[in-house]
Copies of this chain bind each other. A is one copy, B any other.
Amino acid sequence: MVVVMTPEATDADIDAVAERVRANGGEAFVSRGTVHTIVGLVGDTERFKAIDWRQMQGVDHVIQIGKPYKMVSRDLHPETTVVKVGTVPVGRDTFTLIAGPCAVENPEQTMRAIRAAKDAGATIVRGDVYKPRTSPYSFQGLGEQGIEILQEARREFGLPVVIEVVDVSQVAHVADVADCIRVGTRNAQNFELLKEVGLANKPVMLKRGLAMTVDEWLQAAEYVAQRGNSEIILCERGIRTFEPSTRNTLDLGGMAVAQHESHLPVIVDPSHAVGKRHLVAAMARAALAAGADGVMVDVHANPEQAMVDGAQALLPEEVVALGGQLAAIAEALGRQMNR
């Protein structure tokens, strides 16, 4: 349940609503919009329903929507949100290429990948230092040392950086050093982590879980928004199906549904979706043509030596070629590409 305040509601009005929620054993999450402030109610829905909220000062109306998410829903917020990563806007009017190494392995590998990304027209850099790996025997990331390499890269190339967090304890630090915090596929329903990034003061990129419906993905985003952080970029990266010839099955239909149901920007990670280099560019082009707000791809100059996911990394020359194709398709569709 969500209580929508009038544009004229005062802070005291909002506090009064929140107080009543707490008095009824619930929690109130206040999200101040440019026009309306809305109060999300968590707790015993039945008990909340028994209260006539509209009698309270400053309350406009109450929403009892069927959809299990509210703040991220387009119903409440018809215009698509533009999320700024550093100074780069991610949203419907521009198409954003995000590229860089899957994992930061060492300074040289990182710089080469980011240089190629920039040459390709990427305006945001990816690069991870904490890797959630299926096997405990796989490389788990460079940690702090990797962050220093990324800081150096940011100084050199001037591009904002998105970094994944895998535990609550990392959020504050990564929020300090990155321009966007990413929650990965395997943590997409790690609700404590979602709550924590919801308190951070940086945009959040939320990947879809392997077995998450679009509805559940948007509910995960709602955990973040509920804490007050609505600077969320959704990232489709393939779902788990019976088909073994690709790593996962890229769900562009699901991407389009997420764009339709939510006001958040939605991008696509074709690298992790298909897991095979020779298919990545085709899927990136498809994502743009389907209307995605951006794509994020892995780049590695020596993929055979990559410590993580080398099989899916584009070579420097491949990402540059892809950048040109994306610009051409964007133009053909009357869209602009971030440059």
Chain A interfacial positions (CB closer than 8 Å to B): 1, 40-45, 68-70, 132-140, 166-169, 186-187, 189-193, 209-211, 213-216, 219, 222-223, 226, 238-246, 249-254, 256-257, 260, 273-274, 278-279, 282-283, 285-291, 307, 325, 328-329, 331-333
Could you pull out 18 A-B pairs where Cβ atoms are within 8 angstroms?
Answer: A40-B136, A42-B137, A45-B137, A68-B135, A134-B216, A134-B219, A136-B222, A239-B241, A243-B251, A243-B253, A245-B253, A252-B282, A252-B283, A256-B274, A288-B289, A289-B329, A325-B332, A325-B333
Closest 5 A/B residue pairs (Cβ)? A211-B211, A289-B289, A186-B189, A332-B332, A286-B290
Chain B residues lying within 8 Å of A278, measured Cβ to Cβ, are: 260
CB atoms of B245 and A215 under 8 A apart = yes
Closest residue on chain B to residue A270 by CB atoms: B253
Most buried by B among A214, A242, A246: A242
Q: How far is the CB of A303 from chain B (nearest CB, A)?
A: 15
Q: How far is the CA of A245 from the CA of B213 in the complex (A)?
A: 8
In the complex, the answer to whether A213 meets B242 with C-beta atoms within 8 Å is yes
A245 in complex: contacting residue of B257, B288, B332, CB < 8 Å: B257
- The answer to whether A43 and B139 touch (CB under 8 A), given A213-B243, A219-B134, is yes
Task: Give the residue among A166, A216, A238, A245 with the most B Cβ atoms within 10 A.
Answer: A245
Bound-complex Cα distance A283 to B289 (A): 8
User: Contact: A42 with B140, CB < 8 Å?
Assistant: yes
Interchain CB contact under 8 A, A283 and B290: yes
Most buried by B among A137, A250, A331: A137
A196 to B49, CA, bound (A): 40
CA of A287 to CA of B283, assembled, Å: 9
Q: How far is the CB of A212 from chain B (nearest CB, A)?
A: 9
**A40 and B137: CB pair below 8 A?**
yes
Assembly CA distance A260 to B282 (angstroms): 12
| A136 interface neighbour in B133, B187, B223, B331, Cβ under 8 Å | B223
- Docked pose: A1 CA to B246 CA in angstroms: 26
CB A3 to nearest CB in B, in angstroms, measures 13
Knowing A68-B134, A167-B168, say if A282 contacts B307 (CB, 8 Å).
no
